[in-house]
Structure 1
Amino acid sequence: MLQSHLDAMHVCCDEVQTELDKANQGTRYLLEHAEGLRQQRATTTVQQSLIHVFLARFTLTESELRALTSRDVPVGPELFAAMDKTERIRADCRALLSGEAGEGTQAGLDIMEYTSQHLEAGYAKLHKWLTFEARGFAKDVLEVSATVREAVARLKSRPEQLSEVLSILGTTRSTSILNLFLDALTRGGPNGLPRPIELHAHDPIRYIGDMLAWLHQAMAGEREFLESLFGTRSDDESQRRRVGEVHALSRHKRVRTGVDGIVGGVVSDRDRVKKLLDRDLEGCGRPLKIRVQQTIKSQESPIMAYQISTLIHFYKVTMERTVGEDALMSTVLGEIMQHAYEVFFETLYAQGRSLLRFIQPPAAALSAPTQLRDVLSTLREIMTVYASSLLDADSATPPPSSREVEFRPVLDAALDPALDMCARMAEMRAAEWDRSVFWVNVDEAVLSALEPFAFAQERRETVQRDEGEHVELLTTKHYGHLVAECGLEPILLALRTKGRPL
């Protein structure tokens, strides 16, 4: 009985095993197919993730595209971020293009073309916006926003577009500064304060000084504006600069280029700053030159002419320390200074010619003539102006030799005709004694005028030697006269010839 049950169970188990083998045989294909589908799904998931990462890295979002191309999105951080991402995409594409042919090359070319169009659209948007902003810099008080500074920095990679913007900016600022200068000359400040500069035209020193001071202040403000625009102020320059100290901009030698600053190589922002400074202030050069030259021509006094020349010389040196010797305004001031010194020396030459026109004998007292004292009084005033000038303010102890050489032409032009007049006057005296006494008085008057000034040391020594010769001659003459009057001449002669063989 038990055996029969066991046999039946074996039969059932065999049947189940047979059915199971049939089921496994029938579903094997499905299982293998499902496993293949699972592997394909995993591979597809990885590829999808890679595609998402690729697209996120090598494509722009809708907001970024709008920032680059749409006028509705203002120029600002959103546009700059989109441009930075575009530049980064292009840099990554170069890695794709550097691979073997067929491995990302086509994708890299497509992405480069895609990003190039949108990047150029972004630069065009920057260019149009900066052009509009450049026309708005026509006011007196100028402030450069961080957005404008960043836009200018980015547009440097497009020299042609930057050149156009800077050209518009230069025209705008030149017109604005010229109008402000003319207003300062004729209308004055708001509500009439400060008063118009031309109200002081009767006072040449104040008139010219006010014009030069206004231009120097305008140039300093314009330089600060342009340095802020290009971001050229270094850490040490951002600190307070001492008065009269040479500015870093004046030490920078400009490359002779256009406003864009690119000819045959990369030019720094300082070249652009110096070019724009010249462009901004070129309109003021002509009205300044005309007014100063008219004022100089009307001067007949050598003292006033020299004061004007020294004042212009001071501002020329100051301007060179600020913007350099090759700046346009430095050149204009150099031409005005040259003209001022020419007028000054012409007044000295005219004074000398007037002295030699009418020669009269010396006075009975043989004192220094009045004409010489007038010349020495004028010369003393001129020397005082030179001694107190600020032309050597950058040097605590300027070498006396340099000041002496610099002032020598003035000293010669003023003093030589007067001494020539005295020489002709002395020749009108027949007695040598009278001529020597007259010359001693003349030399003493000259020495008295030159004594306080160290830079006249060489000329003073020359006059002292001349006076010594005349004093020696007078001493010899007086000694001989006394010996003859006292009857001692035969005795002295006998003493000198004593002991000599006959």
Structure 2
Amino acid sequence: MGGDTKAETKNASGEKPQNNPLSRKINKILETRLENDKDTLDALKELSTFFSDNTLRSRRNLRGEIEKRSVGISEEFVHALRDVKEAVDDIYTEVSSMNEVCVDMKHRLQATKSETRHLIHQTTSLQNQSNKLHMEEDVADAFVQNFQLTSEEVSIIKGSSRESPITQEFFATGHQKTALDVMEQMNICREAALERLYRWCQSQCRPPDPSPLLTQALAALQERPVLFNLVVDEWIVVRRGWVVRGFLDALTIGGPGGAPRPIELQAHDPLRYVGDMLAWVHQALPSEREAAQILFAKCTNMASISESVCRPLKTRIEQMIVTDQRREGRKKPVQLYKISNLLRFYHNTILQVTDAGLLVATLDELHQLSHKMFISALQSQVSHVSDRIEPPGEMLAPTPGVARTLGLLTEVVTAATIADDAQHDFKQIVSCVVDPLVNAINESASGLGAVESAVYLLNCFHQLHSTLSLLHATGEKLEMIQGQIDAQLDTLAQEQISGVCHSVGVASMYPFITNPPTTPLSQNPACQPLVIQAFMSKLDGFLAAPDHLMLPHTRLLLSSNFRRTLQQRTAEAITSVYAKLHAIVHDPNHGYSDPSSLLPRDPDTVKTLLS
């Protein structure tokens, strides 16, 4: 038996049962205790609810049935979960709506709380103010009761008529005398205080560094205009003394230790002398203005204070402008114009610092005087130079007198750098210089021939036009000079064209070319074929070297533009004459035989060669 059992436990391959996987599974199933496996029991119990037919087919379909039931259960779970989700979404919507309402209520509550806080604060403030007013009312009532008469007492004192009798009640109303006594005592104390304050303010106006309380004292003293004006006058007198003393020290002594040097040492240089004086005044005004603003607030008395320097300033500047006759030549008008611009500059600058007063009026008067003297000196200088303009030389260039006059104009105009509004002077300055200069140039050219005169005038007017253009002068004078240039160019062009026409032999033919007769022109001695052939020969020479027939004096022109203009006008005139002659020669009515041999070039070729 034992041998048979061992033989049965062996398989065909000779393996032992414990090593066979199937045997292990079977042994595991046999060894399983189902009564202890609750999950397995529950699964079998659930399986018994739908697995009733234990057949081979049912066992094969068991897995599919289980999966189908699992899918059904999952679908039921999904349906149930969808209902839960929809319910949760509804709850979320409701909660969101409630949250929005709560937020809105929170904001409204905060706004209401803020408004209520302001209202409570305002109510508290009004309550405090009301309590204060009630207290003031009680004080006022007590004051009225003690220091004013009632209506009955007033009627007793005044009486109903003049014939009303005096009664005992009339003398009982005597407490009004207390109010009058109090008022009189207060007025006496007030007047004494103001008098003391006035004397103290006067004493504080004299030292350089007054007490800081002076500003407050002057504000309190303003209710007494008489006393206040006396203090202001005292302060002005003191400040004027300091200003004029400082100005005179700057003129004669200079600064501490000799730096800066005394202004009077610059008297030999009028521009610097006047500029230093005006600069000192301009520097002194802001400190005085600041002192006035500190002490008098809105009461600016700068004009009165600055009056002290007007007399010494005016005396010295007038002496510098009027009585100094030592500077001659070009320097004097230029110096006067610089001084005039300097005075105008400081007049406008000081007017921005202080109100219009005697100082501003003095500066304006000095400016008008210096400008008038400048115009007079400029006219005298230009007249002196114009009367001495030299005759033109062989080169027909502008003479030294013209150059000196233009140099004077340039120096005067460029001196107006310090004055912003000096541009309106240019028209008058340019007229004072240009008009006499143009007349002098025309007079100096009167003894020359037509060509020499035109070349000389063109050179002079070219230099004058160039100078005015650089100085940004008025357009009116530039147009006048340009008109003079155009007139002289016309004169020179006519002379040039006439000379070229005579040189090429077309002058004799010109009247017949411009106004052809009705008879054949070939029979005219001036227009015979031989004459035209000679003209064509000379014209070929002119086309080869146009400059050789130009007037010699045109080479003396300073402007290359003028020379090009003359060449262009000459070329246009010769081209026009040639075109007319070419049309006449090729016209059969004029009887020229073989016109192509007489004038082989067409007008366009001649125009191209001359251009």
Q: TM-score w.r.t. structure 1 length?
A: 0.65
Correspondence 1:321 to 2:348? no
Amino acid of the structure 1 residue aligned with 2:255: G
Do the aligned residues in 1 keep the contact of 2:343 with 2:367 (CA within 8 Å)?
Answer: yes
2:342 is aligned to 311
Of 377, 389, 405, the match for 2:418: 389
Deviations 1:15-49 (A, max 9, x none): xxxxxxxxxxxxxxxxxxxxxxxxxxxxxxxxxxx
Q: Distance in 2 between matches of 1:102 and 1:404?
A: 82
Of 432, 437, 443, the match for 2:450: 432
Amino acid of the structure 2 residue aligned with 1:378: L
Do the aligned residues in 2 keep the contact of 1:305 with 1:343 (CA within 8 Å)?
Answer: yes
Deviations 1:439-492 (A, max 9, x none): 211111112212222243432232122212211221122112211232212333
- Report deviation, 1:231: 2.1
Query: Bigger CA drift: 176-185 or 302-311?
Result: 302-311
Of structures 1 and 2, the one scoring higher in RCO (CA 8 A, sep 6+) is 1
Correspondence 1:131 to 2:220? no
Do the aligned residues in 2 keep the contact of 1:443 with 1:467 (CA within 8 Å)?
Answer: yes
Q: Distance in 2 between matches of 1:99 and 1:209?
A: 76
Do the aligned residues in 2 keep the contact of 1:306 with 1:382 (CA within 8 Å)?
Answer: yes
- Report deviation, 1:168: 1.3
- Report deviation, 1:173: 1.1
Of 274, 278, 294, the match for 2:303: 278
* Mapping of residues 447-486 of structure 1, within 5 Å: 447-486=465-504
Q: TM-score w.r.t. structure 2 length?
A: 0.54
Amino acid of the structure 2 residue aligned with 1:491: M
Q: Distance in 2 between matches of 1:212 and 1:152?
A: 32
1:78 is aligned to none
* Mapping of residues 273-422 of structure 1, within 5 Å: 273=300, 276-297=301-322, 298=324, 299-300=327-328, 301=331, 302-324=333-355, 326-358=356-388, 360-386=390-416, 388-392=417-421, 405-422=424-441
* Mapping of residues 50-69 of structure 1, within 5 Å: none
Deviations 1:42-65 (A, max 9, x none): xxxxxxxxxxx99xx99xxxxxxx
2:35 is aligned to none
Q: Distance in 2 between matches of 1:419 and 1:99?
A: 99
2:230 is aligned to 164
Do the aligned residues in 1 keep the contact of 2:388 with 2:401 (CA within 8 Å)?
Answer: no
2:512 is aligned to 494
Q: Distance in 1 between matches of 2:367 and 2:149?
A: 63
1:122 is aligned to 193
* Mapping of residues 103-252 of structure 1, within 5 Å: 106-136=177-207, 139=208, 143=209, 145-232=211-298
- Report deviation, 1:98: 9.4
Q: Distance in 2 between matches of 1:166 and 1:97?
A: 40
Amino acid of the structure 2 residue aligned with 1:279: S
1:21 is aligned to none
- Report deviation, 1:359: 5.8
Structure 1 328/187 Cα, relative in aligned 2: closer, same or farther at 3 Å? same
- Report deviation, 1:310: 1.2
Q: Which runs of 5+ in 1 are unaligned?
A: 1-52, 59-91, 233-268, 393-402
Structure 1 199/484 Cα, relative in aligned 2: closer, same or farther at 3 Å? same
Q: Which runs of 5+ in 2 are unaligned?
A: 1-134, 155-174, 521-611
Q: Distance in 1 between matches of 2:501 and 2:268?
A: 65
Q: Secondary structure at the match of 2:403?
A: helix
Q: Distance in 1 between matches of 2:437 and 2:501?
A: 37
Q: Distance in 2 between matches of 1:134 and 1:282?
A: 19
Do the aligned residues in 2 keep the contact of 1:440 with 1:471 (CA within 8 Å)?
Answer: yes
Q: Distance in 1 between matches of 2:149 and 2:363?
A: 58
The share of aligned pairs that are identical, in percent, is 28
How many residue pairs align between the two structures?
A: 355
Deviations 1:165-208 (A, max 9, x none): 11111111111111111111111111112211112222222221
